[in-house]
Amino acid sequence: MPGISRIFSLLLLAAAGSLMACSKHPEIGIMSTGNFADTSGVLKTAADFPIGVAVNNGPLQEAPFLAITQRDFSSVTFGYEMKHGAVVQNDGSLNFNTVDAMLAKLGNITVFGHTLCWHSNQNATYLKNYAGIIVPAATELATNPGFESGLNNWSIFNTNGATITATNVATEVHSGSGAMKVVNPTANPGNQWKVQVSSAAFATTPGKSYVISYWVKAANAGGSIRLSSGPTAAQYQGDQTIGTTWQQVSWNITASLASTTFLFDMGQAANTYYIDDVSVKEAVVAPGQDQIGAKLDAALNDFITKMVTRYKDRVHAWDVYNEPFSDNPVALRSNVNTDISPTDVLVWSNYMGRDAAYKAFKYAAAADPSADLYINDYNLESNQAKLDSLLAFVKELKARGCKVDGIGTQMHISRTTNLGGIDIMMRKLAASGLKIRISELDVKTVAGSAAGQPTAQLLAYQAVAFKYAVASYVKYIPKAQQAGITIWGINDRNSWLYKNGTEFPLLYDNDYHKKPAYGAVIQALQGK
């Protein structure tokens, strides 16, 4: 009987294992909690390839953070400080002070550059203004344009019996409290100039266009008005027929002088005229798509060339192009498939198309021909269409002559990630023949469970997911292509996912104590 019972138990275990292996359930693999009590060892010495970590300037000031960085890891990636938004100032200059200070604090540890071209974490306001995506509001050049100060800064040139005054009568004012009132009792057909009021002079640039506008109405139908420019080389607006309701009239002129005036001419038709809300502004023409693309190209070249050149003695590999594709549907990023509401977002490929990535790689290679250059994206383990699109895009870039040395898969995963998708991704990445990095690995522990400190079981599930990801990399990526694994942070409370204690995605807890996941990663690196 004992022998039969043992055989029956073994059959049950085999059947259970078969069910787990064939399952399509999204939580495949997490039922095992493993044995990760042993967290001894050092990460970087357990691996045959670089083990990196993401660091930021704030946490780097904490002594345990710096000590663990130097003890456990062979390379670092700056989470934010080398990005466009951290370095590029509002005038387009580059401020390297924070990067330089962090490098000095870290000593001689290898640095992986991150990132040269991304749609987020940029000084997007500068880029939009520089490229003309944001068209600046033109400066108002008119003085006392609403006649709130009566007729100050307005000059009466001709009256021929007309009365020209300021009015504060509500029915005679378009907005505010004042307007100009012109009572012309005598018609002078063909002689608009016989009743004239001139503006004060305003600065203009010869050859530039300016828009003069104003609101006007007449006491009776059939009014007539025009504008003329001064003080010399006059231009004339065509006669405008004015009715009894407020209407806005605009006129474009091309300046020929450095100082210009304009005149209201109202001598032709006998009537009473009310004029308000005058405006004079330079005509600002929004640039076309090609012009915007050319300016962004110049800005991209400037940033990449200066960053790579400055740090080429310290940084020998870069994320050149980051997150080129949207998720669903999978497509090259544009303003349509990307959330452009954050103030730090500018989608390069919306304006430069596929050339954005092409140019980024070209500029990086020119600045440091010896550096390894990577393309980087997320959800490749869970979105096969995105993975395939990225691989095809890399082939396209290389066919166009780009130096693309490797692919980074971010792997911001969770305890519920379908582990089978990780294997599929690793095999496809390996088939590219390029260097492959897990570039931003972390594992959500709570992943939809109630917030609060994770239970021992959740921590064990997290450890299993960490181990599986690392083991899959070791198993499927050939040694010659293993460029390394970077953990996206050290301790939970300094993680981008922590969010006031709602998630715990890293290898160390808030107080820098090793979690089971640390032991799991050591096991995976050692092939256990």
- The answer to whether residue 5 sits within a structural domain is no
Query: For 5-63, what is each residue's pLDDT tens digit?
Result: 333 333 333 333 332 333 333 343 444 567 898 889 999 999 999 999 999 999 999 99
Which residue carries 């999204």 as its tokens?
26
Give me the torsion for CA of 294, 297, 298, 300, rounded to 10°: 160
- The answer to whether residue 129 sits within a structural domain is yes
Domain C-terminal end among 223, 257, 282:
282
Query: For 149-197, what is each residue's pLDDT tens digit?
Result: 999 999 999 999 999 999 999 999 999 999 999 999 999 999 999 999 9
- The answer to whether residue 18 sits within a structural domain is no
Domain C-terminal end among 253, 282, 311:
282
Query: For 247-279, what is each residue's pLDDT tens digit?
Result: 999 999 999 999 999 999 999 999 999 999 999
Are residues 292 and 340 part of one domain?
yes
Q: What is the mean pLDDT of the chain?
A: 92
Coil, helix or strand at residue 498: coil
CATH number, residue 252: 2.60.120.260
Helix axes 97-106, 63-72, angle to 10 degrees: 60
Are residues 304 and 259 part of one domain?
no
Tell me, what amino acid is at 238?
A: G
Q: Give the pLDDT score at 32.
A: 59
Are residues 106 and 37 part of one domain?
yes
Mean pLDDT, rounded, for 378-406: 98
Are residues 396 and 295 part of one domain?
yes
Coil, helix or strand at residue 289: helix
- The answer to whether residue 20 sits within a structural domain is no
- Is the bond preceding 329 in cis, omega lying within 30 degrees of 0? yes
Coil, helix or strand at residue 363: helix
Mean pLDDT, rounded, for 404-427: 96
Are residues 436 and 398 part of one domain?
yes
d(CA 3, CA 6): 5
CATH number, residue 119: 3.20.20.80
- The answer to whether residue 169 sits within a structural domain is yes
Mark residue 177 as left, alpha or beta (left: phi above 0; alpha: psi -120 to 50; beta: remaining): alpha
Are residues 308 and 278 part of one domain?
no
Are residues 368 and 296 part of one domain?
yes
Are residues 273 and 243 part of one domain?
yes
Contact 374, 437 (CB under 8 A): yes
Strands 223-230 and 259-265: antiparallel
d(CA 208, CA 44): 64
d(CA 97, CA 496): 23
- Is the bond preceding 64 in cis, omega lying within 30 degrees of 0? no
Domains identified in the chain, total number: 2
Are residues 327 and 468 part of one domain?
yes
Q: Which of 323, 381, 396, 503 is catalytic?
A: 323
- The answer to whether residue 234 sits within a structural domain is yes
Q: Give the pLDDT score at 285.
A: 86
Q: Give the pLDDT score at 24.
A: 35
Q: Give the pLDDT score at 10.
A: 34
- The answer to whether residue 428 sits within a structural domain is yes
- The answer to whether residue 13 sits within a structural domain is no
Contact 180, 154 (CB under 8 A): yes
Global pTM value? 0.81
Are residues 421 and 301 part of one domain?
yes
Q: Which of 81, 381, 440, 503 is catalytic?
A: 440
d(CA 86, CA 80): 7
Domain C-terminal end among 215, 247, 282:
282
pLDDT exceeds cutoff 90 at 1: no
Mean pLDDT, rounded, for 314-318: 98
d(CA 138, CA 287): 15
What is the DSSP secondary-structure string of 397-426?
HHHTT----EEEE--EEETTS-HHHHHHHH
d(CA 251, CA 345): 37
Are residues 218 and 104 part of one domain?
no
Catalytic residue check, 62 = no
Which residues make Cβ contacts (< 8 Å) with residue 136, sequence separation at least 6? 129, 284
Are residues 417 and 294 part of one domain?
yes
- Domain holding 211, by residue range, is 155-282
pLDDT exceeds cutoff 60 at 356: yes
Catalytic residue check, 323 = yes
